[in-house]
Amino acid sequence: MYSKDGENYFIVDSHIHFWDGTPANQANRYGEGFLNCFYDYHRNLSPQSEVWSLEHFQKQSEQDLLHDLFEAGYVDKAIFQPTYLTDFFVNGFNTTEQDGALAERHPDKFIVNGSWDPRDGEAGMAALERLAERWQLKGVKLYTAEWKGRSKGWKLTDDWSYRYLEKCQELGIRNIHIHKGPTIYPLNRDAFDVADVDDVATAFPDLRFVVEHVGLPRLEDFCWIATQEPNVYGGLAVAMPFIHSRPRYFAQIIGELLYWLDENRITFASDYAIWTPKWLVEKFVDFQIPEDMQDEYGVLTPDVKRKILGLNAARLYDIEVPEGMGLPAPDVPASRTPVASETNREAMTP
């Protein structure tokens, strides 16, 4: 929980990791490159006072994580999003099992998400069932750019992906987090293209598709889909830290999201350990759309911030919000009405 200026904010960090990126766990130059790429993200967008040594960035202890999130970081509940990357890291980078060990020791603090990969076929389906039973999964994190032997990625519209999504529906796993990445088969296509999200969101109206990083670097494509598919959400991991180094760009991202979607479908995330929630929460609560941009984007009210920081994710994951931490006002969008999908379709269909 975070309090400022008489306002209370319930904080759900929707995207965290407990990873092992140490050289001992790096299987090859790809694992090293992956970790170093993250480290550059961290160094580029963190305030100087928050920059860690490479060694500390490679792996955090349990105590570090608890401190960074819950003691210093105001977080009430954190959601583990696994990233297996077993082709890059000997024991996997950040698996449900690694995350789960921590969650078992601190059951009130974490939600554990699973993962699946359509290329694992029947065996993967059985593994997902076991995982769902073991952790009462409410969500999965999918990484379409994951390498697997000769394969350099997959699409949500692959045949086996549909079967896994049906299985999720059956198992009550409603939150499907999607991370797009730099590679996908075939390599000549844009790996960041979110068109496949559009297709599965239509095919599975009871599932929610949370596009991580709000579709960056394809913000416009993400907005276009989300405005037409009410079950598409945007996770702010990677978008959040721009609040420090490029506040005007951050204002544009938030402004565009509020214009095309609404404040009920955007969720806060630190992407720990790339960044830590403390400074992100503080800066977001203090943040306002710059005056010269308000004509275009409006302003952020405490209610909008409350929803983004925790209440939206609490709704997705049935997290109990303590008395008095919810919305003082009835739960209606405070922003302008989102653009109606029918209008968009009509206007943009040649």
Q: Which residues bind another protein (CB under 8 A)?
A: 29-30, 33-34, 36-37, 40-41, 43-45, 150, 152, 181-183, 185-192, 216-220, 223-224, 245-246, 249, 252-253, 256, 259-260, 339, 343-344, 346-348, 350
**Token pair in block for residue 82:** 């696994």
Contact 200/229 with Cβ under 8 angstroms?
no
Q: CB 234 → another protein: shortest distance, Å?
A: 13
Q: Which residues pair with 4 in a beta bridge?
A: 7
Tell the burial category of 256 from Cβ atoms under 10 Å away from its Cβ (0-12, 13-18, 19+): middle
Beta-carbon contacts of residue 113 (< 8 Å; ≥ 6 apart): 79, 80, 81, 82, 96, 137, 138, 139, 140, 141, 175, 177
Q: Which is nearer to another protein, 31 or 92 (CB)?
A: 31
Cβ-based nearer residue to another protein, 129 or 193? 193
Q: Which is nearer to another protein, 330 or 350 (CB)?
A: 350
Q: At its nearest, how many Å lie between another protein and the CB of residue 259?
A: 8
Q: How far is the CB of 166 from another protein (least distance, A)?
A: 27
The set of residues, in sequence order, having a beta carbon less than 8 Å from that of 107 and lying 6+ positions away, is none
| CB closer to another protein, 3 vs 28 | 28
Tokens 């996770």: give the residue: 235
Q: 40 or 71, CB closer to another protein?
A: 40
Give min distance, CB of 190 to another protein, in A. 6
Nearest approach, Cβ of 218 to another protein (angstroms)? 7
